Chains A and B, each alone.
Chain A
Amino acid sequence: MNNWYNINMRTTGIYIHIPFCKQACSYCDFYFETSLKHRDGFTEKLIEEIYHYGQSAFAEMQVSTIYFGGGTPSRLHSEEWTKIMSALHKNFTISPNAECTAEVNPEDITSKYLSGLYDSGINRLSIGIQSFMPSILEFMNRAHGSEAAERALLHISNSKFDNWTADLIYGNPNQSLEEFKADVYKLLEFKPKHISAYSLTVEPNTRLGSWVRKKKVVPQDDENVANQQQWLSDYLESQGFSHYEVSNFAKPGFESVHNSSYWNHVNYLGLGPSAHSFMWEENSTSAKRWKNVSLLRDYMELNPTKIIQYEEHLSLKTLAEERIMTGLRTKKGLTIGELSDRYNYNIGEKQHAYVKLLIQNGYISGEDGGIALTKKGLLIADTIILELISRQEDVPVLNKQH
């Protein structure tokens, strides 16, 4: 079999978590530290972990993407980038045209910093703009103001980085559609190749979460958020972007390879505190996902062999459900053949009937064996995914020996 996913089985992505942030954004529940207490020696520790995995199965695969996320990777100094990237090159086989992304925040960007990054081997940037509106940035407690955002984007436009993306957050409390439009128009002035737009999600363990609980902040009405999302999709498509995943838009050829590999169950190695890794050995009927310890302090203290906080084994059925979950959030969708070949998951009668109903009602465009949500469907992807998965009949397991 020479399907694309069999080829992908032998490649891997690398994710590196840099847990430092200048200040805590009010909505954020990623793992990060604003204190510098355990900052010293972090790069050395990370490199130790890189060397550790240089002896693992990952070292035998081809690395197609590297992604520095956070936290705020642009908190790293230029020399640290050079050290980390060269350690990666020493320990892994990195494909010559690998996508190497670094998340950066506006307040850290200077032209000098950008050229250092570029020279270390990073070829894609992801910048956390979120908004240009001062009041929204303040509500989010971002470390940058609107001017810093524009200045940083100007630096990027003038740099060697051609492939870059910016994050926006919409659906903020009281944010009007017009205000959101202004954010998008402003961003497009800098000609990004890719945009990730997330709707503000209230997570319980955040300041925003506590504001909402105490009714100091009223979350935006669903209907308004839907309007913003729909407008965004229509507008960016009119500007030549493809809405290729619920929150992602790209000019042709600029889709994020790294993110797509999460959705396709490509292996990835996660390094740094709280990073996740995923490994699905070829032809195996189960896969493994594990997570490093979250706390920076623990990460700094523990030997790389002891750094894993938990690990889970995923059955083919679970993997299939994950694939439906991630696949249906993409424009490309998934194929019934893929589910049966790769996951041994067969779409049952009730599921077929449901898909048919969705096609009739314009939620799914189904072309020979493919299932992909339409724009209308994408807006309610969560419901469709849940419904589709819940309609799985429990098919008796066939004993292959008979």
Chain B
Amino acid sequence: MEHIRNFCIIAHIDHGKSTLADRLLERTGSITEREMQSQVLDDMDLERERGITIKSHAIKMSYKANDGKEYVLNLIDTPGHVDFAYEVSRALKACEGAILVVDAAQGVEAQTISNLYQAIEQDLEIIPVLNKIDLPGADVEAAAQQIMDLIGCEREEILPVSGKTGMGVEDLLEAIVARVPAPKGDPNKPLKALIFDSVFNTYRGSVVYVRIMDGVLHQGDEILFMAVDQEYDADEIGYLKLKPEPCKKLSAGEVGYIIGSVKTLEDTKVGDTVTTKKNGATEPIAGYKEVKPMVFSGIYPTDSEDFESLRAALEKLQLNDASLQFVPETSAALGFGFRAGFLGMLHMEIIQERLEREFDMNIITTVPNVEYEIIDRNGKELTVDNPSEMPDAGNVEKVFEPYIKAQIITPAEYIGAIMKLCQERRGVYRNTMYLDSSRVDITYELPLAEVVFDFYDKLKSNTRGYASLDYEVIGYRPGNMVRLDILLNGDPVDALSSIVHRDKAYEWGKKLCAKLKELIPRQMYEVAVQAAIGNKVIARDTIRALRKDVIAKCYGGDITRKRKLLEKQKEGKKRMKQVGAVEIPQEAFLAVLSMNND
């Protein structure tokens, strides 16, 4: 056990975590030149394209240190986005040390801090690293000062590296061996293995990634997943190299995988504890939490006949992503579809993109919303994740909405702009902390609903891209929310309803009507677009009837040309949805997202 080092890398997005991981694999000979594909650990296409790590992975390396001894280094990669904060926390729990990577050209940012705080909370040994020192724009001293202020370390403890050139990687490996403590844990105690990730394999079922905290797991053991209370056999166990490497036993301190014909990820939840059925642990590892989706949206097939294929596609995605949830729903406007729950906006975008790209689905998604808790006039409590389920204003006694604590790190000159933005979004100011003379850490409490739309984009554009954001959900608070309906020619279009704060409803309705007017092409009849709360119309606009579209052009005998034009238009129509007598393009269902907020 004293030759094992379990560690992770924490960093703000794009600071170079994946690149540095590649270098470590290379230097330890865990991967051959030929296998080397930039950013090996991000193995989903989409991840590579977006340059973000979505699912965490782990890999076992062996390293012969300067002291002449062989060490086992288990690198546990953590997701790099706020949507996956819980998974990060469980991955951290599997480690004794964390490499804190800071881009020397960017300095400390929001995620650096939130991840760092989590790591400190878990008592991890922090190895601060300044990355990208090869960059001409790197301001090593300024960034180093920020780190020193942040974790109270000495200047010498900070290692300069470059994931790109490989400079400093050798020293980093030595530092891992020297500074990260060997795992503690008692092999003689009952088995306690922490699940920090699980992936689904079509042939083998759920593959569970674990860190053994106490005890020993033998191949063939009968095991119990404690939170879900499900039993399986540990048919195969092993180490996580680039390819899985089966072994006979995993002991306290080690990191590995378990395969046991588990048909669904539902049973292998991140954070749960695995123990043996016989003489197993009585208490699970503390801190298990059921991850709950925070953002919901409707997903509908453009062509109603694709409903079953959409279900199949979602089921396939869910196999690999237990945090994706969905239930069938029907919309008068869009027909049969699903209401899906996501961890956050990024998660939602990823799922939508994968549906279109990997499954070739043509989908319409509705405006995302958060989940509300509502008490109606009869004192009945309900949970609403779909605007159409919200009772009419007259029947609502009280509404509670989720709040987050947002941590925004920004150059000091943008404080004003950020405060203005947060104020507009019904934010409650909490605190400002100077990281150094030019950078501040601002804390706000905000309704999640105000953040899910375009808060992040606005934050970026108001600060020339300098501000960074991290958040955590802090619970429900009362909010004066109402359902805003959209009516086309007097008929409500359920898929266009949204839940908004009463004070903003009027402005919101006005803008939404104007946006829809822009997005819905003129039809043969005049179309009235109205926004209403209950029976009260608060805004209206009119899409004038189409008056002329015929091209009075002379084509002579070239009828083919005219027909080709028609065929092209016919193709375009496939992306429209007929609602009553009105034809609505897909973009209209997301009109809210493209509304200009100023």
Contact = CB atoms under 8 A, between A and B. Distances in A.
Contacts of A390: 570, 573
Interface residues of B, number: 23
Interface stretch (B195-203, B276-284, B491-499, B551-559): B551-559
23 contacts: A198-B553, A225-B548, A229-B552, A247-B552, A247-B553, A262-B557, A262-B559, A278-B559, A289-B559, A318-B563, A322-B563, A325-B562, A325-B566, A363-B524, A378-B550, A380-B548, A380-B550, A381-B549, A383-B546, A386-B570, A389-B566, A390-B570, A390-B573
B566 A229 contact: no
A361 B566 contact: no
Contacts of A278: 557, 559
B566 A380 contact: no
A312 interface: yes
B557 A268 contact: yes
A215 B516 CA distance: 27
B596 interface: no
B378 interface: no
Given A321-B566, A325-B562, A389-B566, A380 B547 contact: yes
B563 A325 contact: yes
Interface in A186-238: 196-199, 201, 222-223, 225-226, 229
Interface size band for A:
35 or more
Contacts of A331: none
Nearest to B563: A322
Interface string A344-382: 000000000000010001010000000000000011111
Given A383-B524, A386-B570, A390-B573, A229 B548 contact: yes
A379 B566 contact: no
Contacts of A262: 556-557, 559
B560 interface: yes
Interface in B289-338: none
A15 B557 contact: yes
Contacts of A277: 557
Interface of B: 524-525, 546-554, 556-560, 562-563, 566, 569-570, 573, 581
A308 interface: no
Specify the main secondary structure of chain B where it touches its partner: loop
A385 interface: yes
A26 interface: no
Contacts of B560: 276, 289, 312
A19 to B, nearest CB: 13
A304 interface: no
Given A198-B553, A382-B550, A326 B566 contact: no
Nearest to B525: A361
B524 A379 contact: no
A273 interface: no
Contact of A226 (B525, B548, B554, B558): B548
Nearest to B554: A198
Contacts of B570: 386, 389-390
Given A361-B525, A386-B570, 8 more contacts: A198-B553, A199-B553, A246-B552, A276-B559, A321-B563, A380-B550, A383-B546, A385-B566
Interface in A238-295: 246-247, 262, 268, 270, 275-278, 289, 291
Contacts of B524: 361, 363, 380, 383-384
Q: Considering the complex of A and B, which 9 residue pairs feature the smallest CB-CB distances, nearest first?
A: A226-B548, A276-B557, A247-B552, A381-B550, A226-B547, A199-B552, A201-B553, A382-B549, A379-B548
A246 B548 CA distance: 11
B250 to A, nearest CB: 58
A380 B552 contact: no
Nearest to A323: B559
A199 B554 CA distance: 9
Contacts of B552: 197-199, 201, 229, 246-247
A109 to B, nearest CB: 21
Interface string A307-330: 000001000001001100110010
Contact of B554 (A196, A223, A322, A379): A196
A167 B569 CA distance: 28
Nearest to B556: A69
A226 B547 CA distance: 7
A382 B550 CA distance: 5
A276 B556 contact: yes
A288 to B, nearest CB: 11
B553 A223 contact: no
Contacts of B563: 318, 321-322, 325
A329 B550 contact: yes
Contacts of A363: 524
B104 to A, nearest CB: 46
A236 B558 CA distance: 27
Interface string A380-402: 11111110011000000000000
Contacts of B581: 357
Contacts of A289: 559-560
Contacts of A222: 547-549
Nearest to A373: B550
Contacts of B548: 222-223, 225-226, 229, 379-380
B228 to A, nearest CB: 47
A199 B566 contact: no
Contacts of B553: 198-199, 201, 247
Nearest to A13: B557
B49 to A, nearest CB: 33
Contacts of A384: 524
Contacts of B569: 382, 386
Contacts of B557: 15, 262, 268, 270, 275-278
